[in-house]
Every structure is written in C-alpha cells, then in structure tokens.
Amino acid sequence: MPHTIPNKQVIYSKIPTTYPFPGEHLTLHESTIDLDTPLKEGEFLVKLLVLSVDPYMRARMRDPSIKSYFSALTLDKPLEGGTVSVVLRSNSEKFKEGAVVSGFGPFQEYAVVSKEAAGAYELRNGPKEIPLTNYLGNLGMPGMTAYVGLFKYGKPKKGETLYISAASGAVGQLVGQIGKILGLYVVGSAGSDDKVEYLKEIGFDEAFNYKTAGDLTKKLAETCPKGIDVYFENVGGKMLEAVLDNMNQFGRIVACGMISQYNRENPEGIHNLTLMVTKRLRMEGFIVSDSPEMKEDFIKDMSKWMLEGKIKYKETIAHGIKQTPQAMLDMLQGKNFGKQVVKVADL
C-alpha cells in the first residue's frame, strides 16, 4: 500500500521587480508524496531539516533570457538553495539510510534526490558536535565565500586596514574575524546599533551604523584613519563611492555582493570611478564555486578556529517551512541578524 503524506513546498510563482513578497512571488503549496515510491539506481529520499535563504537567490528571480553565472529559477517550481536533510530511504551507494547530508536542493519537506545532487556531501562528524544550521553558514557556502574572498582576492597583509560593509551578515561577520586572526585592523558597518555592538563584541576594531552615520565618506575617514587597503564589498551604491574616496593606493576591492541594488528597478550609478585609475586600485568580482580547490583548506582552518574559540557566529532561525517566504524578505530588507536559516524539522 502507498504511504502518501502531505509535502509542503515553497513555490516561486512570479518574477519580482522589487522585493519578492510572500503570497505574491513566493507562495506555500501543499502537494503529496509517496514515501514508498520506487527509487531508481542512485536515488534517495530525503526529509528536509534546515534550509538557507541567501542574497544571491534574489538574482535568480529574473527573466530566463537574462544570462548569468547561475540559471534563473523556474516559475511554478519549488524554490531551491542550500539544504541539510536526512536520508529516509536510499538506492544509492553514496548515501545510506540515516545519513545527514548537505547540498543544494528544492525547498520542500520531502524530495527524491538523484545521485547527481548538486554538491551533496555527508556530515560525518556534524550532528553530535556542531549545530546543523552551521553547515549552511560558517561551515557552508557563506563561510567559504568569506575565506576565498579574503585570501584569494583581498590578499591581505598584516597591519593593513580591512573594511567590510554588511559586516554583521552571514559572510561579513566571518570576514572580519578572519581578518583579526591575520592581524588586520578591521572596520565594519551594519544597519542597527545592536548589530554594531555585536561587531565590537566579536573583535572588530571599529564599527558604525551606516543609517545614522551621516556623510559616509567622512565616517570612513574617521573610522579608518590610515585609509582602506582591502574593502570587502557587499553593498554597492553610495557606500562604494564613499569607499573609493578612502581607498589607499594599490588597494583591493573584493566584490562579493551588492545587496543595496538587487531590489531596485533602476540601480544607482558610481560617479568617482576615476579613482580606480589615479589610486591604481584593483576591483574583482568572484563567485565562490569557482574555487573548489580551496574547500579542503577552508574546512580545516574554519574548524580549527571554531574549536579554538576564535570564530563566533550569529544566526537568525525561523521555524517551519511556511516561514521561508517571510525569511527571504526579511533577509533582503536587513531585518535578520547574522545568517538567516529556516529550521524545517528536527533530526
């Protein structure tokens, strides 16, 4: 007899022009799934435990004709992103029943996953020692983004000044703490006073609230008195202009994201790009998936720093898959504190 149960899904239902709103662009749908459905060779059935919402997902909510490094999401299909799941049944040599796996998958409570599951790997030492949510944060894509961006593109030198925008976010808070481990003078900005206090608590030398700072060029001159050598760019727009005014000669701008521009119908322009020439600056964008060769070093170093107490990590956890659309909106509007995840079920 079939074992059919409800299966809630988060559906991408309409292309947004500004923010993706719950109930309009992202909707909750309840289908069904047969837990005893036959599995083809290499397939396994998973139950979703935790999912991740991240800024890059907004860029996938676009017209499919617009090409980018990541394909556009498909309308009327489940949203997809980083997940942690447990294997309920398996016809795969790689993943056995009971295994806890992290990877890239659909945002639905249950799913049949193929052997080609994007980047899936088993958390062999995870569940007993480290919170599962961490594998979507400091030990997941955001953590590796911080690591690759700073080391490979920032090329920091001890004693230099590192400035990070959106510094309390999933990536920014880690960039700053790695910077302190490397002996840098670290400054960050965030959008609320409690986020600024958190940055100081985890070791940032200076931090400020960009919403109440007034003139950003002057504020950066005040908080980065020796100028900026490395800028970890998460924001874009007027913040980037102010940073260019304060960059030192031969400085490096690591372009990780530009969240202030993702939900604008008309993105802002940058009016002082001549400084790129006169200061001999280097600005380079990157996508973390371009650097798989660094994953082993990242896991080794991040795990070591965590065990030594050198890395702390802040998360915002929403509970229940039905909270996913609101969690996405909150993250894009900066209402979350640290990494935004959704806990769907217990292990």
Is residue 85 within 8 A of residue 287, CB to CB? The reply is no
pLDDT band at 5 (very low <50, low <70, confident <90, very high): very high
Lowest average pLDDT, out of 23-32, 48-57, 211-220, 259-268, goes to 259-268
Name residue, tokens 């380079």. 284
Q: How far apart are CA 234 and CA 169, in angstroms?
A: 9
Q: Does the pLDDT value for residue 2 go beyond 90?
A: no
Q: Quick one: how far is CA 228 from the chain centroid?
A: 24
Q: What would the DSSP string read from start to end of 107-152?
A: SBSEEEE-TT-EEEEE-TT-TTTS-GGGGGTTTSHHHHHHHHIIII
Q: Is 57 helix (H, G, I), strand (E, B) or coil?
A: helix
Coil, strand or helix at 28: strand
- Burial of 217-226, coded b for 16+ CB within 10 Å and e otherwise, reads bebbeebbee
- pLDDT greater than 90 at residue 163: yes
How far is the C-alpha of 121 from the C-alpha of 161, rounded, in Å?
36
* Extents of the domains making up the chain: 4-137+314-343, 141-289
Supply the mean pLDDT for the chain: 93
Pick the CATH number of 4-137+314-343 from 3.30.830.10, 3.90.180.10, 1.20.120.1200, 3.30.420.40: 3.90.180.10
Confidence of residue 129 (pLDDT cuts 50, 70, 90): low
Q: Is the predicted pLDDT of residue 340 greater than 50, yes or no?
A: yes
What is residue 127's predicted lDDT score, i.e. its pLDDT? 43
Q: CB within 8 A of 71, min separation 6: which ones? A: 60, 64
- How far is 117 from 234, CA to CA, in rounded Å? 29
Q: What span, in angstroms and rounded, lies between the C-alpha atoms of 221 and 186?
A: 14
What one-character DSSP code corresponds to residue 219?
H
Does residue 36 carry a pLDDT above 60?
yes
Rounded mean pLDDT of 36-63? 94
Model pLDDT, residue 126 = 47
pLDDT recorded at residue 305:
93
243-287 pLDDT per residue, tens: 999 999 999 999 999 988 888 888 899 999 999 999 999 999 999
How do residues 292-335 score in pLDDT, each as one tens digit?
999 999 989 998 998 888 999 989 999 999 999 999 999 999 89
Stronger pLDDT, 347 or 280, i.e. the higher one:
280
Share of the chain above pLDDT 70, in %: 96
Token pair listed for 168: 């309390």
pLDDT tens-digit readout, 172-194 = 999 999 999 999 999 999 999 99
Provide the edge-to-edge strand list for the sheet that holds 185-190: 206-209, 185-190, 161-164, 228-233, 247-255, 282-285
Q: What pTM does this model have?
A: 0.86
DSSP sequence for 236-274? -THHHHHHHHHEEEEEEEEE---TTTTT-SSPPP-S-TT
The answer to whether 110 and 48 are in contact (CB under 8 A) is: yes
Q: For residue range 106-121, list pLDDT tens digits in order.
A: 999 999 988 666 667 8
Q: Which CATH architecture has domain 141-289?
A: 3-Layer(aba) Sandwich (3.40)
Res 12 pLDDT > 90:
yes
**pLDDT of amino acid 116:** 62
In this predicted model, what pLDDT tens digit does every residue of 131-142 receive, in sequence order?
889 889 999 999
pLDDT per residue as tens digits for the range 52-94: 999 999 999 999 999 888 899 999 999 999 999 999 999 998 8
- How many whole angstroms from its chain centre is CA 239? 20
